A and B are shown apart, each in its own frame.
Chain A
Amino acid sequence: MKPNYKNLAQYSLIVVAVLLLGACSTAPIQKGDVIEEPYFAPQDVLVPGTTYISDQIPDPWEGFNRTMYRFNYRFDKYFFLPVVRGYKAVVPDVAQEGVHNFFNNIRDITTLINSALQLSAKKTFITTGRLMVNTTVGLLGLIDVASSIDLPRQLEDFGQTLGYWGVGTGPYLVLPIYGPSNLRDTTGLLTDSMAMSTIDPLNLDGHPSSQVAYYTLYPIDTRAHVSFRYYETGSPFEYEFVRMLYTTKRKMDIEK
């Protein structure tokens, strides 16, 4: 089994792009040398020494991230969401549910590996149980039997494992299509994806048609279960809010 070099190559390109575009300016344009003071000027309103949540999250690649954020909105609007809507319209609900359970079952392998890497006996035990029950009684994962017999779904990944062992978030990073992340979690994503290519539980290697089915359905199923829509909060500070919520949620996931 060979690791997925194609993914690796794709993400190396991203890193290069980050370095190139990271320098992209996020400063507003100023006319003239002197700033015309607004009615509420920062120096009058902001109390020195105040802690701001937005300052606690490193975002040196903000220019790139904001560009990518806009790209993701357009990708969603003109391609991804129409495809998801088509999928929802055409595929019966029962089948959608089956597909979702099937991918969740595969995803449990990643959780299992990372539960073990975090030395969590409980999560490893539960997830092993889930995989065994759902793959057999649950007809290769199509039915989530485990959740109904008190084996609740755990969700672990290598980003969380790194966090568990004390690795910091690194800079915030908005990935193409995938969305909000950071350097640590992107590293995790790559590692998990290479591990899965190596294990190849679905025996995709050498079966192009299965590969096409997998890599088409998986993103569609994932997007169908994420309710987030770009620029729908209506806030001109949405980028900052999303950055804050993503970082908070990941912190909680690591502590869980």
Chain B
Amino acid sequence: MKRILSLLLIALWLVMGAVAADEPYGYPFDNKYVATVVGTPPKYMADLPKTIPVKNRSITIFPDRQVPDYLWYESEMRYSYVAQKGPAPLVFLIAGTGSPYNSSKNQDMARAFYQAGFHVVSLSSPTYPNFIVSASSTGVPGHAYKDAEDLYRAMERIWDTLKDKIQVTDFYVTGYSLGGFNTAFVTLLDEQKQVFRFKKALLINPPVRLYDSISLLDRMLENIPGGVDNFALFYNKLVTQVGKVYERSKSVDFDDEFLYQAFDAVNPNNEELAALIGVSFRISSANLVFTSDLMTNYGFVKPRNVTFTKNSSPGVYGKVSMRVGFTDYFHAYFYPYFHAMDPSVTRQQLIDEMSLTAIEDYLHKTKKIEVMTNADDIILEPGQVHFFTRVFGDRAKIYPKGGHCGNMGYRDNVAYMVNVFRK
């Protein structure tokens, strides 16, 4: 009898174990646009400390750099770090397209890694205006190799200021979106420079071919009814809808609680959500092209013989910046700029080089780099996600849903990303 009982218990335990292993992925949104826009609602988030002792700092990267008057406040590169008391491994975080070192995703990751016992240094994306002005060697961001060099230089400078204050056992690097793409090239550069000898790197929701992803993102704006010229109408309609929810709401601020409530009530359809994503990336590209043009005086949107003062209004040139996309930037500025530096480079070569496929052999061979992404990531072309399983094998974790970075805050994902560096 006792034996039967224990057999039964074992059987039960096995069944339950099997159930637990097969438990479906619990991230709540099946719709990739909703996931991308809303992210992870609080009750699904990993349990992380609310506040950690983050230090915000700024550092001069190029002492001789002349910063244009209009961008006077961007002369130093801003970053943050949070340090453990004793010796610990250190993680560098690289933000996504157009995002700062203190983007909400970087902050969440910093909390997760700090809780897991890591020192954390957070960096802006090389496409973020502050980085373009203070830390980019060319002022023309988006180049896989040049951006990696700029990031590496910034990391070295930061490490110079930190190495007397904190004890580091090993170095790690990770980033999301474009920051994930940057992470791959930074790790590759590290093989040659050997300053950090990264033990592991994690690419989170990276693009495969940059040009494919920027084309997809530019096209998302076509979801604004009537196109980008009708943006004011689209905005005003959205404001009216949100305003109606606000009238009935108990909130007097646009806090997270209210925004979730507004999202539920407005219940935007896929086209509207795609349009919102498109607008968000367009703001990033407008910030990028205008800042870059001021830095190089290339004459892309701003006339070369016009100079902005501290008090200048961007005026029509600001409006033009909002009307040109990433692909316009690539063809009419980025390519001509790098072609002028090296006349042998063709447009197609530049497109092909700005891609993880260009370093496929390295990515396949190295055991250092892992990937965490989603089967429904909106910045990937159909089928492009298979690149990761093919090249990284079991170093690629593909979640069934989550859109673009929507599930990064979800508890399973947070546990996974921390574990990659703990192994």
Q: Is A39's CB under 8 angstroms from B333's CB?
A: yes
A249 to chain B: which residues have CB within 8 Å?
254
* Residues of B contacting A75 in the complex (Cβ-Cβ under 8 angstroms): none
Q: Which residues of B contact A215 (CB under 8 A)?
A: none
Which has the most chain A C-beta neighbours within 10 Å: B294, B311, B319? B311
User: A50 near B: Cβ within 8 Å?
Assistant: yes
List residues of chain A with CB within 8 A of the CB of B229.
47, 50
- The one of B305, B312, B314 in contact with A31, judged by C-beta atoms closer than 8 angstroms, is B305
Chain A residues, CB < 8 A from B302: 38
User: Is B286 within 8 A of A237, CB to CB?
Assistant: yes
Say yes or no: is A152 at the interface (Cβ < 8 Å to chain B): yes
Chain B residue numbers with a CB within 8 Å of A26 are 311-313, 315
Chain B residues, CB < 8 A from A31: 305-307
8 A Cβ contacts from A24-58 to B: 24-32, 35-42, 45-47, 50-54, 56
In the complex, the answer to whether B310 meets A70 with C-beta atoms within 8 Å is: yes
Listed stretches A138-146, A165-173, A199-207, A228-236; interface member: A228-236
Q: Are B239 and A252 in contact (CB under 8 A)?
A: yes
In this complex, the member of A24, A41, A46, A235 whose beta carbon has the largest number of chain B beta carbons within 10 angstroms is A235
Pair B128/A255 contact, Cβ less than 8 Å: no
Whether, in the assembled complex, B130 has its beta carbon less than 8 Å from a beta carbon of chain A, the answer is: yes
Given the known inter-chain contacts A28-B306, A70-B310, please indicate yes or no for A38 contacting B299, CB distance below 8 A. Answer: yes
**CA of A237 to CA of B304 in the docked complex: distance in angstroms?**
19
| Nearest-Cβ distance from residue B170 to partner chain A, whole angstroms | 31
Of the candidate stretches B39-47, B189-197, B199-207, B242-250, the one touching chain A is: B242-250
Q: Per-position contact with A for B223-249: 1 when CB-CB < 8 Å, else 0?
A: 000000101110110010011001100
Q: Which of A32, A155, A235, A236 contacts B305 (CB 8 A)?
A: A32
Q: How far is the CA of A63 from the CA of B315 in the complex (A)?
A: 13
Q: Is the CB of A252 within 8 A of B290?
A: no
B70 CB–A CB distance under 8 Å: yes
Q: How far is the CB of A97 from chain B (nearest CB, A)?
A: 15
Contact A42 B304 (CB under 8 A): no
User: What residues on A are CB-neighbors of B362 within 8 Å?
Assistant: none
- Given A45-B324, A240-B314, A154:B233 Cβ within 8 A: no
B311 touches A251 (CB 8 A): no
User: B77-101 interface mask toward A, CB cutoff 8 Å, 1 = contact, 0 = none?
Assistant: 0000000000000000000001010
User: Bound state CA distance, A73 and B74, in angstroms?
Assistant: 13
Contact A234-B128, Cβ < 8 Å, known A24-B311, A45-B323: yes
Whether A155 pairs with B300 at a CB distance below 8 angstroms is no
Of the residues B252, B254, B286, B314, contact of A155 by C-beta under 8 Å: B252
Q: Does A216 contact B (CB under 8 A)?
A: no
Whether the Cβ atoms of B332 and A39 lie closer than 8 Å is yes
> Taking CB as reference atom, which chain B residue is nearest A152?
B250
Say yes or no: is B301 at the interface (Cβ < 8 Å to chain A). Answer: yes
B74 contact set on A, CB distance < 8 A: 231
B283 and A42 contact, CB distance less than 8 A: no
Task: Give 15 CB contacts A-B under 8 Å.
Answer: A25-B311, A28-B306, A28-B308, A29-B306, A29-B308, A30-B303, A30-B306, A31-B305, A32-B305, A40-B301, A40-B328, A45-B320, A236-B70, A236-B290, A236-B314
15 extra interchain contacts, Cβ-Cβ under 8 A, other than A31-B305, A236-B287?
Answer: A28-B315, A30-B307, A38-B303, A40-B332, A45-B324, A47-B229, A234-B98, A234-B128, A236-B71, A236-B294, A236-B314, A248-B239, A251-B239, A255-B247, A256-B246
Q: A-side interface residues toward B, CB under 8 Å?
A: 24-32, 35-42, 45-47, 50-54, 56, 62-63, 66-67, 70, 73, 152-155, 231-232, 234-237, 239-240, 248-249, 251-253, 255-256
